[in-house]
Amino acid sequence: MRLSTSELAEIVGGELVGPDVIVTGAEFDSRQCRVGDLFLALVAERDGHDFAAAAAAGGAVAMLGQHDPVSSGLTLVRVRDTEHALRRWARHARAQLADRGVPVVGVTGSVGKTSTKDLIAAAVGAGRRVHVNPGSFNNELGVPLTLVRTPADAEVVVCEMGARGIGHIRDLAELVQPTIGVVTAVAEAHSSEFGSIEAIEQAKGELVEALPTHGTAVLNGDDTRVARMAGRTEATTVTVSADGADDASLRATGIELDDDLRAHFALHHDGVTRSVRLGVAGRHMVANALLALAVARAIGVDLDAAADALAGGALSRWRMEVVRRGDGLLVINDAYNANPTSMRAALDTLVRADAVRRVAVVGVMGELGPEGPGEHRAIAAESTAQDIEVIAVAAPAYGEAARHVDDVDEALDLLTGLGAGDAVLVKASRSAGLERLAEQLLGGSSLPA
Protein backbone atom coordinates (compact mmCIF):
# COMPACT_ATOMS: atom_id res chain seq x y z
CA MET A 1 0.00 0.00 0.00
CA ARG A 2 1.01 3.58 -0.61
CA LEU A 3 -1.25 6.57 -0.13
CA SER A 4 -1.24 10.05 1.36
CA THR A 5 -2.93 10.92 4.60
CA SER A 6 -5.09 13.44 2.75
CA GLU A 7 -6.33 10.62 0.50
CA LEU A 8 -7.00 8.47 3.57
CA ALA A 9 -8.92 11.29 5.25
CA GLU A 10 -11.17 11.52 2.21
CA ILE A 11 -11.69 7.75 2.11
CA VAL A 12 -12.70 7.44 5.77
CA GLY A 13 -14.46 10.79 6.13
CA GLY A 14 -11.89 12.07 8.58
CA GLU A 15 -10.04 15.31 9.23
CA LEU A 16 -6.35 15.73 8.47
CA VAL A 17 -4.41 17.28 11.33
CA GLY A 18 -0.78 18.02 10.55
CA PRO A 19 1.32 17.78 7.40
CA ASP A 20 0.22 15.53 4.55
CA VAL A 21 2.52 12.50 4.50
CA ILE A 22 2.76 9.25 2.59
CA VAL A 23 2.07 6.01 4.45
CA THR A 24 3.30 2.63 3.19
CA GLY A 25 1.93 0.28 5.82
CA ALA A 26 -0.64 -0.02 8.62
CA GLU A 27 -0.36 -1.50 12.12
CA PHE A 28 -2.50 -1.57 15.25
CA ASP A 29 0.30 -2.99 17.42
CA SER A 30 2.69 -0.15 18.21
CA ARG A 31 5.49 -2.67 18.79
CA GLN A 32 5.28 -3.75 15.15
CA CYS A 33 5.39 -0.28 13.62
CA ARG A 34 8.11 0.35 11.05
CA VAL A 35 9.28 3.34 9.03
CA GLY A 36 6.44 4.76 6.94
CA ASP A 37 3.61 3.03 8.81
CA LEU A 38 0.22 4.38 9.78
CA PHE A 39 -0.66 3.53 13.39
CA LEU A 40 -4.28 2.52 14.00
CA ALA A 41 -5.24 3.82 17.44
CA LEU A 42 -8.00 1.37 18.34
CA VAL A 43 -9.98 1.72 21.53
CA ALA A 44 -10.69 -1.64 23.19
CA GLU A 45 -9.56 -3.04 26.54
CA ARG A 46 -6.63 -0.68 26.19
CA ASP A 47 -6.68 2.70 24.49
CA GLY A 48 -4.39 2.62 21.47
CA HIS A 49 -3.91 6.35 21.66
CA ASP A 50 -1.74 5.77 24.72
CA PHE A 51 0.80 4.00 22.51
CA ALA A 52 1.13 6.60 19.77
CA ALA A 53 4.54 7.75 20.98
CA ALA A 54 5.80 4.14 20.91
CA ALA A 55 4.48 3.79 17.36
CA ALA A 56 6.31 6.96 16.35
CA ALA A 57 9.50 5.65 17.93
CA GLY A 58 9.18 2.56 15.76
CA GLY A 59 8.95 4.65 12.61
CA ALA A 60 5.25 5.40 12.17
CA VAL A 61 4.62 8.73 10.45
CA ALA A 62 0.87 9.07 10.95
CA MET A 63 -2.04 7.70 12.91
CA LEU A 64 -5.72 7.03 12.39
CA GLY A 65 -7.39 7.96 15.65
CA GLN A 66 -10.05 9.77 17.57
CA HIS A 67 -7.91 12.47 19.16
CA ASP A 68 -4.38 13.81 19.09
CA PRO A 69 -2.27 12.33 21.89
CA VAL A 70 0.22 14.68 23.50
CA SER A 71 3.68 14.83 21.86
CA SER A 72 3.27 11.89 19.50
CA GLY A 73 4.64 13.90 16.58
CA LEU A 74 2.40 11.98 14.19
CA THR A 75 0.16 13.38 11.48
CA LEU A 76 -3.38 12.56 12.57
CA VAL A 77 -6.34 11.47 10.48
CA ARG A 78 -9.02 12.23 13.05
CA VAL A 79 -12.23 10.19 12.99
CA ARG A 80 -15.14 9.62 15.34
CA ASP A 81 -14.49 5.86 15.67
CA THR A 82 -11.21 4.25 14.58
CA GLU A 83 -12.60 0.75 14.08
CA HIS A 84 -15.50 2.06 12.01
CA ALA A 85 -13.04 4.08 9.91
CA LEU A 86 -10.91 0.97 9.36
CA ARG A 87 -13.95 -0.89 8.02
CA ARG A 88 -14.76 2.03 5.74
CA TRP A 89 -11.19 1.95 4.45
CA ALA A 90 -11.47 -1.81 3.92
CA ARG A 91 -14.63 -1.38 1.84
CA HIS A 92 -12.78 1.12 -0.33
CA ALA A 93 -9.88 -1.31 -0.75
CA ARG A 94 -12.27 -4.12 -1.68
CA ALA A 95 -13.99 -1.89 -4.26
CA GLN A 96 -10.61 -1.25 -5.88
CA LEU A 97 -10.03 -5.01 -6.11
CA ALA A 98 -13.44 -5.43 -7.74
CA ASP A 99 -12.57 -2.74 -10.29
CA ARG A 100 -9.47 -4.72 -11.23
CA GLY A 101 -11.30 -8.06 -11.28
CA VAL A 102 -9.09 -9.53 -8.55
CA PRO A 103 -10.42 -12.84 -7.12
CA VAL A 104 -10.88 -12.77 -3.36
CA VAL A 105 -10.83 -16.08 -1.49
CA GLY A 106 -12.47 -16.50 1.92
CA VAL A 107 -11.40 -19.44 4.08
CA THR A 108 -13.18 -20.71 7.18
CA GLY A 109 -13.74 -23.88 9.18
CA SER A 110 -13.43 -25.24 12.71
CA VAL A 111 -9.95 -26.62 12.07
CA GLY A 112 -7.33 -26.24 9.37
CA LYS A 113 -8.27 -22.80 8.08
CA THR A 114 -4.87 -21.18 8.70
CA SER A 115 -2.98 -24.15 7.24
CA THR A 116 -5.32 -24.19 4.24
CA LYS A 117 -4.85 -20.46 3.78
CA ASP A 118 -1.07 -20.98 3.79
CA LEU A 119 -1.28 -23.82 1.27
CA ILE A 120 -3.59 -21.76 -0.97
CA ALA A 121 -0.93 -19.04 -0.96
CA ALA A 122 1.66 -21.59 -2.08
CA ALA A 123 -0.50 -23.25 -4.75
CA VAL A 124 -1.97 -20.07 -6.23
CA GLY A 125 1.40 -18.37 -5.90
CA ALA A 126 2.71 -20.71 -8.59
CA GLY A 127 0.92 -18.57 -11.14
CA ARG A 128 -0.36 -15.40 -9.49
CA ARG A 129 0.86 -12.72 -7.09
CA VAL A 130 -0.99 -13.50 -3.85
CA HIS A 131 -1.73 -11.38 -0.80
CA VAL A 132 -2.82 -13.23 2.36
CA ASN A 133 -3.50 -12.32 5.96
CA PRO A 134 -0.51 -13.00 8.22
CA GLY A 135 -0.84 -15.73 10.87
CA SER A 136 -4.40 -15.85 12.15
CA PHE A 137 -5.49 -12.29 11.39
CA ASN A 138 -9.02 -13.58 10.88
CA ASN A 139 -11.31 -11.45 13.05
CA GLU A 140 -13.12 -8.12 12.87
CA LEU A 141 -9.77 -6.29 13.01
CA GLY A 142 -7.47 -8.66 11.14
CA VAL A 143 -9.71 -9.05 8.09
CA PRO A 144 -10.14 -5.34 7.29
CA LEU A 145 -6.44 -4.78 7.99
CA THR A 146 -5.63 -7.53 5.46
CA LEU A 147 -7.73 -5.76 2.84
CA VAL A 148 -6.22 -2.31 3.35
CA ARG A 149 -2.71 -3.75 3.23
CA THR A 150 -3.27 -5.29 -0.21
CA PRO A 151 -0.40 -4.37 -2.56
CA ALA A 152 -1.32 -2.58 -5.77
CA ASP A 153 0.04 -5.46 -7.86
CA ALA A 154 -1.82 -8.27 -6.05
CA GLU A 155 -3.62 -10.65 -8.42
CA VAL A 156 -5.36 -12.75 -5.75
CA VAL A 157 -6.31 -11.97 -2.13
CA VAL A 158 -6.87 -14.69 0.48
CA CYS A 159 -8.65 -13.87 3.74
CA GLU A 160 -8.97 -16.36 6.58
CA MET A 161 -12.23 -15.76 8.44
CA GLY A 162 -12.88 -16.86 12.02
CA ALA A 163 -16.07 -16.87 14.07
CA ARG A 164 -17.14 -17.12 17.68
CA GLY A 165 -20.84 -17.02 17.03
CA ILE A 166 -23.55 -17.00 14.41
CA GLY A 167 -23.40 -13.87 12.27
CA HIS A 168 -19.63 -13.30 12.60
CA ILE A 169 -18.75 -14.81 9.22
CA ARG A 170 -21.66 -13.00 7.60
CA ASP A 171 -20.31 -9.71 8.96
CA LEU A 172 -16.79 -10.40 7.71
CA ALA A 173 -18.08 -11.55 4.33
CA GLU A 174 -19.83 -8.19 3.92
CA LEU A 175 -16.34 -6.68 3.89
CA VAL A 176 -14.50 -9.43 2.02
CA GLN A 177 -17.18 -10.07 -0.63
CA PRO A 178 -15.51 -13.38 -1.52
CA THR A 179 -15.65 -14.74 -5.05
CA ILE A 180 -14.36 -18.12 -3.83
CA GLY A 181 -15.32 -19.59 -0.46
CA VAL A 182 -13.45 -22.49 1.18
CA VAL A 183 -14.81 -24.47 4.13
CA THR A 184 -12.41 -26.96 5.74
CA ALA A 185 -14.43 -28.71 8.46
CA VAL A 186 -17.16 -28.44 11.06
CA ALA A 187 -15.99 -29.74 14.43
CA GLU A 188 -16.19 -29.16 18.16
CA ALA A 189 -14.21 -25.95 18.54
CA HIS A 190 -15.27 -22.90 20.58
CA SER A 191 -18.25 -24.99 21.67
CA SER A 192 -18.65 -22.94 24.82
CA GLU A 193 -19.44 -19.91 22.65
CA PHE A 194 -21.49 -21.54 19.88
CA GLY A 195 -23.45 -23.88 22.13
CA SER A 196 -23.78 -26.75 19.66
CA ILE A 197 -22.18 -28.25 16.58
CA GLU A 198 -25.34 -27.35 14.66
CA ALA A 199 -24.66 -23.70 15.45
CA ILE A 200 -21.06 -24.10 14.29
CA GLU A 201 -22.32 -25.55 11.00
CA GLN A 202 -24.75 -22.67 10.60
CA ALA A 203 -22.00 -20.11 11.23
CA LYS A 204 -19.40 -21.61 8.90
CA GLY A 205 -21.95 -21.93 6.12
CA GLU A 206 -22.47 -18.18 6.14
CA LEU A 207 -19.39 -17.99 3.92
CA VAL A 208 -20.93 -19.98 1.07
CA GLU A 209 -24.18 -18.04 1.45
CA ALA A 210 -22.19 -14.86 0.75
CA LEU A 211 -20.85 -16.08 -2.60
CA PRO A 212 -22.15 -14.55 -5.82
CA THR A 213 -23.81 -16.82 -8.38
CA HIS A 214 -20.68 -16.60 -10.53
CA GLY A 215 -18.51 -17.59 -7.56
CA THR A 216 -17.14 -20.95 -6.44
CA ALA A 217 -17.64 -22.85 -3.19
CA VAL A 218 -14.76 -25.23 -2.42
CA LEU A 219 -15.91 -27.79 0.14
CA ASN A 220 -14.37 -30.69 2.05
CA GLY A 221 -16.56 -33.51 0.77
CA ASP A 222 -15.35 -35.89 3.49
CA ASP A 223 -17.13 -33.79 6.11
CA THR A 224 -20.89 -34.37 5.83
CA ARG A 225 -21.77 -31.06 7.45
CA VAL A 226 -19.52 -29.17 5.05
CA ALA A 227 -20.61 -31.11 1.96
CA ARG A 228 -24.27 -30.25 2.48
CA MET A 229 -23.43 -26.54 2.46
CA ALA A 230 -23.65 -26.90 -1.33
CA GLY A 231 -27.39 -26.46 -0.82
CA ARG A 232 -26.85 -23.03 0.71
CA THR A 233 -25.40 -21.35 -2.37
CA GLU A 234 -26.13 -20.85 -6.05
CA ALA A 235 -22.41 -20.62 -6.78
CA THR A 236 -20.54 -23.42 -8.52
CA THR A 237 -19.64 -26.13 -5.99
CA VAL A 238 -16.37 -28.06 -6.02
CA THR A 239 -15.71 -30.87 -3.55
CA VAL A 240 -12.45 -32.54 -2.56
CA SER A 241 -11.83 -35.85 -0.82
CA ALA A 242 -8.74 -37.07 1.01
CA ASP A 243 -10.62 -40.36 1.42
CA GLY A 244 -10.63 -40.89 -2.32
CA ALA A 245 -14.39 -40.49 -2.90
CA ASP A 246 -15.15 -41.05 -6.59
CA ASP A 247 -17.66 -38.19 -6.80
CA ALA A 248 -15.17 -35.53 -5.63
CA SER A 249 -13.75 -33.06 -8.15
CA LEU A 250 -10.27 -33.58 -6.71
CA ARG A 251 -9.40 -36.66 -4.67
CA ALA A 252 -6.38 -38.32 -3.15
CA THR A 253 -5.44 -42.00 -2.96
CA GLY A 254 -2.38 -43.89 -1.75
CA ILE A 255 -1.51 -41.43 1.01
CA GLU A 256 1.81 -42.19 2.70
CA LEU A 257 4.13 -40.31 5.06
CA ASP A 258 7.88 -40.13 4.65
CA ASP A 259 10.38 -40.37 7.50
CA ASP A 260 9.78 -36.73 8.38
CA LEU A 261 5.98 -37.21 8.39
CA ARG A 262 5.35 -35.32 5.16
CA ALA A 263 2.57 -36.74 3.01
CA HIS A 264 2.74 -37.83 -0.59
CA PHE A 265 -0.23 -39.13 -2.56
CA ALA A 266 -1.84 -39.63 -5.95
CA LEU A 267 -4.01 -36.72 -7.07
CA HIS A 268 -6.96 -37.49 -9.34
CA HIS A 269 -8.79 -34.76 -11.25
CA ASP A 270 -10.45 -34.38 -14.62
CA GLY A 271 -9.43 -37.91 -15.63
CA VAL A 272 -5.77 -37.20 -14.85
CA THR A 273 -3.60 -38.74 -12.12
CA ARG A 274 -0.32 -37.31 -10.85
CA SER A 275 1.79 -37.60 -7.74
CA VAL A 276 1.93 -34.82 -5.15
CA ARG A 277 4.44 -34.40 -2.35
CA LEU A 278 3.78 -31.94 0.46
CA GLY A 279 6.34 -29.89 2.29
CA VAL A 280 4.28 -29.92 5.49
CA ALA A 281 3.74 -32.71 8.00
CA GLY A 282 0.67 -34.77 8.78
CA ARG A 283 -1.80 -36.92 6.91
CA HIS A 284 -4.55 -34.44 7.76
CA MET A 285 -2.76 -31.85 5.61
CA VAL A 286 -3.80 -33.76 2.48
CA ALA A 287 -7.38 -32.47 2.72
CA ASN A 288 -6.06 -28.92 3.16
CA ALA A 289 -3.78 -29.36 0.14
CA LEU A 290 -6.67 -30.59 -2.00
CA LEU A 291 -8.68 -27.51 -1.05
CA ALA A 292 -5.72 -25.33 -2.04
CA LEU A 293 -5.37 -27.08 -5.38
CA ALA A 294 -9.10 -26.69 -6.03
CA VAL A 295 -8.78 -22.94 -5.45
CA ALA A 296 -5.79 -22.77 -7.80
CA ARG A 297 -7.76 -24.60 -10.48
CA ALA A 298 -10.78 -22.29 -10.02
CA ILE A 299 -8.56 -19.24 -10.48
CA GLY A 300 -6.88 -20.69 -13.57
CA VAL A 301 -3.44 -21.54 -12.21
CA ASP A 302 -1.79 -24.50 -13.92
CA LEU A 303 -2.54 -27.43 -11.63
CA ASP A 304 0.79 -29.16 -12.19
CA ALA A 305 2.62 -25.99 -11.20
CA ALA A 306 0.35 -25.54 -8.19
CA ALA A 307 0.93 -29.14 -7.05
CA ASP A 308 4.69 -28.77 -7.46
CA ALA A 309 4.58 -25.59 -5.37
CA LEU A 310 3.07 -27.48 -2.43
CA ALA A 311 6.35 -29.36 -1.99
CA GLY A 312 7.83 -26.08 -0.79
CA GLY A 313 4.76 -24.76 0.99
CA ALA A 314 5.22 -23.62 4.58
CA LEU A 315 2.69 -23.07 7.34
CA SER A 316 2.32 -20.20 9.77
CA ARG A 317 4.42 -20.40 12.89
CA TRP A 318 3.86 -23.18 15.47
CA ARG A 319 1.61 -25.22 13.18
CA MET A 320 2.87 -28.72 12.53
CA GLU A 321 6.49 -27.56 12.53
CA VAL A 322 8.57 -30.73 12.32
CA VAL A 323 12.17 -30.20 13.37
CA ARG A 324 14.92 -32.73 14.01
CA ARG A 325 17.22 -31.77 16.86
CA GLY A 326 20.96 -32.13 16.37
CA ASP A 327 20.98 -35.42 18.31
CA GLY A 328 18.15 -36.87 16.19
CA LEU A 329 15.10 -36.15 18.37
CA LEU A 330 12.03 -35.41 16.24
CA VAL A 331 9.95 -32.51 17.58
CA ILE A 332 6.47 -31.72 16.27
CA ASN A 333 5.56 -28.19 17.34
CA ASP A 334 1.81 -27.71 16.83
CA ALA A 335 1.38 -25.43 19.82
CA TYR A 336 -0.65 -22.61 18.26
CA ASN A 337 -4.10 -24.01 18.94
CA ALA A 338 -5.98 -27.17 19.89
CA ASN A 339 -9.41 -28.73 19.90
CA PRO A 340 -10.35 -32.42 19.95
CA THR A 341 -10.28 -32.77 16.16
CA SER A 342 -6.92 -31.09 15.62
CA MET A 343 -5.48 -32.85 18.68
CA ARG A 344 -6.40 -36.26 17.28
CA ALA A 345 -4.94 -35.34 13.90
CA ALA A 346 -1.65 -34.30 15.49
CA LEU A 347 -1.55 -37.46 17.63
CA ASP A 348 -2.16 -39.53 14.50
CA THR A 349 0.92 -37.90 13.00
CA LEU A 350 2.94 -38.72 16.12
CA VAL A 351 1.81 -42.36 15.99
CA ARG A 352 3.07 -42.59 12.42
CA ALA A 353 6.55 -41.35 13.38
CA ASP A 354 9.26 -44.00 13.17
CA ALA A 355 10.19 -43.77 16.83
CA VAL A 356 10.93 -46.00 19.81
CA ARG A 357 9.47 -43.59 22.35
CA ARG A 358 6.62 -41.22 21.55
CA VAL A 359 5.65 -38.45 23.95
CA ALA A 360 2.81 -35.93 23.72
CA VAL A 361 3.25 -32.82 25.84
CA VAL A 362 -0.22 -31.31 25.94
CA GLY A 363 -1.99 -28.37 27.51
CA VAL A 364 -5.57 -27.32 27.92
CA MET A 365 -7.96 -27.36 24.97
CA GLY A 366 -9.95 -24.19 25.58
CA GLU A 367 -13.54 -23.12 24.98
CA LEU A 368 -15.08 -26.61 24.88
CA GLY A 369 -17.85 -25.92 27.35
CA PRO A 370 -19.42 -28.73 29.40
CA GLU A 371 -17.91 -31.39 27.12
CA GLY A 372 -14.38 -30.20 27.88
CA PRO A 373 -13.43 -32.52 30.78
CA GLY A 374 -14.66 -35.60 28.94
CA GLU A 375 -12.84 -34.63 25.74
CA HIS A 376 -9.57 -34.17 27.62
CA ARG A 377 -9.87 -37.57 29.33
CA ALA A 378 -10.71 -39.24 26.03
CA ILE A 379 -7.66 -37.76 24.33
CA ALA A 380 -5.38 -39.02 27.11
CA ALA A 381 -6.92 -42.50 27.11
CA GLU A 382 -6.72 -42.82 23.32
CA SER A 383 -3.09 -41.71 23.38
CA THR A 384 -1.94 -44.16 26.02
CA ALA A 385 -3.77 -46.94 24.15
CA GLN A 386 -1.47 -46.14 21.21
CA ASP A 387 1.66 -46.28 23.41
CA ILE A 388 2.02 -42.51 23.56
CA GLU A 389 3.22 -41.09 26.86
CA VAL A 390 1.10 -38.09 27.80
CA ILE A 391 2.53 -35.22 29.83
CA ALA A 392 -0.14 -32.67 30.73
CA VAL A 393 1.08 -29.18 31.61
CA ALA A 394 -1.23 -27.34 34.02
CA ALA A 395 -4.17 -29.29 32.59
CA PRO A 396 -5.67 -31.64 35.20
CA ALA A 397 -8.65 -32.44 32.96
CA TYR A 398 -6.60 -35.06 31.12
CA GLY A 399 -7.09 -37.30 34.14
CA GLU A 400 -5.27 -40.39 35.36
CA ALA A 401 -4.02 -41.52 31.95
CA ALA A 402 -1.63 -38.54 31.81
CA ARG A 403 1.39 -37.59 33.85
CA HIS A 404 0.80 -34.14 35.30
CA VAL A 405 3.21 -31.25 35.79
CA ASP A 406 2.65 -27.65 36.81
CA ASP A 407 4.78 -25.83 34.26
CA VAL A 408 7.09 -26.00 31.26
CA ASP A 409 10.22 -26.47 33.35
CA GLU A 410 8.82 -29.59 35.01
CA ALA A 411 7.83 -30.97 31.62
CA LEU A 412 11.32 -30.36 30.26
CA ASP A 413 12.78 -32.29 33.21
CA LEU A 414 10.68 -35.32 32.22
CA LEU A 415 11.96 -35.10 28.65
CA THR A 416 15.61 -35.31 29.65
CA GLY A 417 17.27 -38.24 27.95
CA LEU A 418 15.22 -38.17 24.76
CA GLY A 419 17.23 -38.27 21.56
CA ALA A 420 17.69 -40.24 18.36
CA GLY A 421 14.81 -42.63 17.75
CA ASP A 422 12.36 -40.61 19.88
CA ALA A 423 9.56 -38.20 18.91
CA VAL A 424 7.75 -35.47 20.87
CA LEU A 425 4.52 -33.66 20.03
CA VAL A 426 3.80 -30.29 21.68
CA LYS A 427 0.18 -29.17 21.39
CA ALA A 428 -2.34 -27.03 23.29
CA SER A 429 -4.61 -24.06 22.90
CA ARG A 430 -2.75 -20.79 22.40
CA SER A 431 -3.36 -19.65 25.96
CA ALA A 432 -1.17 -22.46 27.31
CA GLY A 433 1.95 -20.98 25.72
CA LEU A 434 3.56 -24.36 25.07
CA GLU A 435 5.52 -23.04 22.10
CA ARG A 436 8.06 -21.99 24.75
CA LEU A 437 8.56 -25.64 25.65
CA ALA A 438 9.20 -26.63 22.04
CA GLU A 439 11.69 -23.80 21.60
CA GLN A 440 13.54 -24.70 24.79
CA LEU A 441 13.49 -28.38 23.88
CA LEU A 442 15.14 -27.59 20.56
CA GLY A 443 17.57 -25.08 22.00
CA GLY A 444 20.11 -23.88 19.48
CA SER A 445 20.79 -27.25 17.92
CA SER A 446 17.75 -27.62 15.66
CA LEU A 447 18.01 -28.68 12.03
CA PRO A 448 15.21 -28.83 9.46
CA ALA A 449 13.66 -32.28 9.48
What is the average per-residue pLDDT within 380-393?
Answer: 95
Mean pLDDT value across the chain: 92
- 67 & 198 share domain: no
165 touches 193 (CB < 8 A):
yes
- 258 & 337 share domain: no
Last-in-domain residue among 312, 340, 372: 312
- 206 & 169 share domain: yes
Last-in-domain residue among 290, 312, 334: 312
What is the average per-residue pLDDT within 370-390?
Answer: 92
The string of pLDDT tens digits covering residues 44-87 is 889 999 999 999 999 999 999 998 776 788 999 999 999 999 99
CATH label of the domain that carries residue 48? 3.40.1390.10
Instruction: Determine the pLDDT at residue 150.
Output: 96
| pLDDT > 90? residue 101 | yes
- 155 & 72 share domain: no
In DSSP notation, 388-421 reads: EEEEEES-GGGGGGSEEESSHHHHHHHTTT--TT
108 touches 135 (CB < 8 A):
no
- 240 & 278 share domain: yes
pLDDT band for position 213 (50/70/90)?
very high
CA dist 301 and 126 (Å) reads: 7
Phi, psi of 446 (to 5 degrees): -80, 145
- 351 & 273 share domain: no
Instruction: Determine the pLDDT at residue 448.
Output: 41
Last-in-domain residue among 79, 112, 147: 79
The string of pLDDT tens digits covering residues 419-442 is 999 999 999 887 788 888 988 888
Domain that holds residue 443: 321-448
- 226 & 247 share domain: yes
Q: Which of 144, 146, 110, 109 is nearest to 130 (CA)?
A: 146
CA dist 219 and 282 (Å) reads: 20
CA dist 15 and 5 (Å) reads: 10
Instruction: Determine the pLDDT at residue 362.
Output: 94
What is the average per-residue pLDDT within 339-360?
Answer: 91
Q: Where does residue 307 rank: exposed (0-12), middle (13-18), buried (19+ CB within 10 A)?
A: buried
- 63 & 100 share domain: no
- 389 & 302 share domain: no
Q: How many CB atoms lie within 10 A of CB 131?
A: 21
- Total domains present in the chain: 3
- 46 & 61 share domain: yes
CA dist 220 and 215 (Å) reads: 17
The string of pLDDT tens digits covering residues 154-200 is 999 999 999 888 999 999 999 999 999 999 999 876 555 777 889 99
Q: Which amino acid is at 415?
A: L
- 439 & 293 share domain: no
Checking DSSP bridges between strand 25-27 and strand 37-40, what pairing results, if any?
parallel
What is the average per-residue pLDDT within 337-351?
Answer: 89
- 176 & 215 share domain: yes
| pLDDT > 70? residue 316 | no
Instruction: Determine the pLDDT at residue 70.
Output: 65
Q: Which of 165, 175, 191, 156 is nearest to 300 (CA)?
A: 156
Phi, psi of 222 (to 5 degrees): -80, -10
Instruction: Determine the pLDDT at residue 317.
Output: 67
Instruction: Determine the pLDDT at residue 415.
Output: 92
CATH label of the domain that carries residue 408? 3.90.190.20
